[in-house]
Amino acid sequence: MLDYMIYILAFVVGSILGLLYSYKQHGEPFVADTKFNIPMAVIAIIGWCLAFVSGNVISAAIGFLLAGFVMGERPGYGRKETALGLVIAIILYFIINIGTMM
């Protein structure tokens, strides 16, 4: 039970940090930049892979912190990067655990 609380707290802290970072980077009142952000995509991929694949509580908490950082950006930012990170993490999870599923 404590593991889940750590994951939730890490995700919330990451979301708050992502929102603060996003407001610092983008001052416009609405989404004006629709380009794919490579550094945020790398952070999302690493974060979701750590959250799903690692068996360690600390690594998973760091993964949720990183994933929350990207997801917590202002509305309209980070959605493509988060989707890519989730897809890659799910595929990696299935590749690693394919032997135990059969």
CA distance 35 to 95: 30
Return the higher-pLDDT residue of 84 and 97: 84
pLDDT at residue 89 greater than cutoff 90: yes
Q: What is the mean pLDDT of the chain?
A: 87
End-to-end CA distance of the chain: give it in Å, rounded.
29
pLDDT digit string, tens, across residues 15-51: 999 988 888 887 777 666 678 889 999 999 999 999 9
Element (H, E) at 10: helix 2-25
Q: What pTM does this model have?
A: 0.86
Alpha-carbon gap, residue 59 to 73, rounded angstroms: 22
Rg (CA), the chain: 15
* pLDDT value at residue 90: 92
